[in-house]
A = this chain, B = another copy of it.
Amino acid sequence: MGNCCDMFVQQKNTNLRLRLPAVAFVWEIAMIILFGVFIRYNEEADTHWVEFKKVHNITSDSENDFYFRYPSFQDVHVMIFVGFGFLMTFLKRYSFGAVGFNFLVAAFGIQWALLMQGWFHSLDYTDGKIKIGVENLINADFCVAGCLIAYGAVLGKVSPVQLLLMTLFGVTLFAVEEYIILNLIHAKDAGGSMVIHTFGGYYGLSVSWVLYRPNLDQSKRLQCSAYHSDVFAMVGTLFLWMFWPSFNSAITDHGDGQHRAAINTYLALASTVLTTFAMSSLFEKKGKLDMVHIQNSTLAGGVAVGTAAEFMLTPYGSLIVGFCCGILSTLGYIFITPFIERKLRIQDTCGIHNLHAMPGVIGGIVGAITAAAASKEVYGEEGLINTFDFVGPFKDRTPRIQGGYQAAGLCVAIAFGVGGGILVGMILKLPIWGDPADENCFNDEIYWEVPEDEESIPPVLEYNNHIMNKHQGMSASNFSVEQS
């Protein structure tokens, strides 16, 4: 598929001067038009709020949803842009791409998500408009999170145009699977273990599978970290870790729902840190810790507690979930990532399988079990109804049945991730999107003007393999000359 002539000419054109601006302008103009047609403020963000309050007997502005959700929203926002962005800066020469392209695709994705999710969830049928408020902003950030997870699998190997396409389709798929899981199946998924992490993880892995690069070892010298880039990545890790309680509680029920989700997530994450450190040390000959594990696996507990965070998981239940995920995720980095690269031909730059896909599936299962085990004794009569929204068409559901639907939701997420990823991967494989040659992967110099430091690594010129190899030797010798 577009690979046929790689042997002869590796003449990859990575100049995006026309392609990137064209895509960005056309899409942004489309956004403006669609927003103009469809999107308005909801009643809590509209100047008519003052009348709305009177009609609904609301005595205080503090009842505006803004005050219940805005602090969590800002935390989630930090996770999306600083958290995901800096987590991916670990590569020695791909920090610009990590944080910069993350910025680009997230900024596009949240706009498209407001539309896609709006059509499914916030459409006001009286006037055909989508009415948005702070909860929509959070959901848009959530939706984008799925795509940024997928970015982790292909980090350094795709062009920003490919990323924008991946986000366009990813957000679209997300909105559909979310609607099916949350509305049709009526599964609960507060922190998005299924909807966000499982979907995003398998989406990214499937795309990466289709885009498999057999000669990726040509850029091996760049597929590693440097001392400072590992510290930068810890900025991302920590902001994700610290604000994850806000992520999982951002759109849960006011009051006890948000409160409980925050506590559960706080505990699961604390537990994960200990088992991650333990496993990282245990599986290295000299007992040394590996930054890859500390940067990533410490977050797995937050993923896995996503679905059940709003349930009565109990504090020790949260610890147990975190305990297991720290172990499994670290083992994933040690054993599964090399395995799936060698055997399944899936190159997963950031190890999203271990941080998102697998913990997401665990989260879905934990959610199903916890839901099935719910009882009126534990939740209280009203509490049970509130927590699971056993109202309207779902008022006859029992916890046990709900557990089954939760499991069904997980399957939908996996199916959309795998199926969607393969389809989108095939689109991205078209040789027109400006992706880098194998020997130039993980190199910021392809898409960025990079300041000339001593460490600067010039991109390999791209004629054909023969010339290229000669050139690589030359540039390496130049390099040593410069340093001596």
Interface residues of chain A, those whose CB is within 8 Å of chain B, are 15-21, 24-25, 27-29, 31-33, 35-36, 39-41, 44-51, 53, 60-68, 70-72, 74-75, 77-78, 81-82, 85-86, 89, 92-93, 95-96, 99-100, 103-104, 107-108, 110-111, 114, 132-134, 137, 160, 224-228, 230-232, 234-235, 238-239, 241-243, 245-246, 254-256, 258-260, 262-263, 266-267, 269-271, 273-275, 277-279, 281-282, 284-291, 294, 298, 312, 314-316, 319-320, 323, 378-380, 382-384, 386-387, 447-451, 453-456, 483-484
Cα separation A114 to B316 with both chains bound (whole Å): 12
**Contact assessment for A255 and B49 in the assembled complex, using a CB-CB cutoff below 8 Å:** yes
Cα separation A290 to B20 with both chains bound (whole Å): 14
Closest to A483 in B: B483
**Contact assessment for B226 and A453 in the assembled complex, using a CB-CB cutoff below 8 Å:** yes
Closest 3 A/B residue pairs (Cβ): A47-B383, A17-B287, A49-B256
Q: Which of B60, B74, B99, B230 contacts A96 (CB 8 A)?
A: B230
In the complex where A50-B256, A60-B60, A231-B95 touch, is A263 in contact with B75 (Cβ < 8 A)? no
In addition to A28-B274, A31-B271, A50-B255, 11 A-B residue pairs with Cβ atoms within 8 Å of each other are A17-B282, A18-B282, A19-B287, A50-B380, A61-B255, A99-B231, A111-B271, A227-B451, A231-B232, A288-B448, A290-B449
Report A274 CB to chain B, min CB distance, Å.
Answer: 4
Q: Which of B41, B66, B75, B314 contacts A258 (CB 8 A)?
A: B66
Q: Which residues from B are CB-within-8-Å of A230?
A: 96, 451
Cα separation A259 to B456 with both chains bound (whole Å): 45
Cα separation A93 to B132 with both chains bound (whole Å): 45
Report A470 CB to chain B, min CB distance, Å.
Answer: 22
**Contact assessment for B287 and A450 in the assembled complex, using a CB-CB cutoff below 8 Å:** no
**Contact assessment for A267 and B380 in the assembled complex, using a CB-CB cutoff below 8 Å:** no
Cα separation A320 to B35 with both chains bound (whole Å): 10
Closest to A75 in B: B74
**Contact assessment for B39 and A316 in the assembled complex, using a CB-CB cutoff below 8 Å:** yes
Report A465 CB to chain B, min CB distance, Å.
Answer: 22
**Contact assessment for B282 and A21 in the assembled complex, using a CB-CB cutoff below 8 Å:** yes
**Contact assessment for B70 and A67 in the assembled complex, using a CB-CB cutoff below 8 Å:** no
Closest to A231 in B: B95
**Contact assessment for B242 and A81 in the assembled complex, using a CB-CB cutoff below 8 Å:** yes
**Contact assessment for B291 and A24 in the assembled complex, using a CB-CB cutoff below 8 Å:** no
Q: Which of B103, B228, B239, B266 contacts A294 (CB 8 A)?
A: B103
**Contact assessment for B45 and A259 in the assembled complex, using a CB-CB cutoff below 8 Å:** yes
Q: Which residues from B are CB-within-8-Å of A71?
A: 70-71, 74
In the complex where A68-B67, A238-B81 touch, is A17 in contact with B286 (Cβ < 8 A)? yes
Cα separation A461 to B455 with both chains bound (whole Å): 29
Cα separation A260 to B228 with both chains bound (whole Å): 40
**Contact assessment for A16 and B281 in the assembled complex, using a CB-CB cutoff below 8 Å:** yes
Q: Which residues from B are CB-within-8-Å of A278?
A: 20-21, 24-25, 28
**Contact assessment for A238 and B85 in the assembled complex, using a CB-CB cutoff below 8 Å:** yes
In the complex where A46-B260, A47-B312, A315-B40 touch, is A238 in contact with B66 (Cβ < 8 A)? no
**Contact assessment for B132 and A315 in the assembled complex, using a CB-CB cutoff below 8 Å:** yes
**Contact assessment for A137 and B39 in the assembled complex, using a CB-CB cutoff below 8 Å:** no
User: What are some 26 contacts across the A-B interface (CB < 8 A)?
Assistant: A17-B282, A18-B287, A25-B278, A27-B274, A28-B319, A31-B271, A31-B319, A35-B319, A36-B316, A44-B255, A47-B378, A47-B387, A51-B383, A62-B67, A64-B259, A70-B71, A71-B74, A81-B242, A100-B291, A103-B273, A107-B273, A114-B315, A133-B259, A227-B456, A231-B232, A291-B448
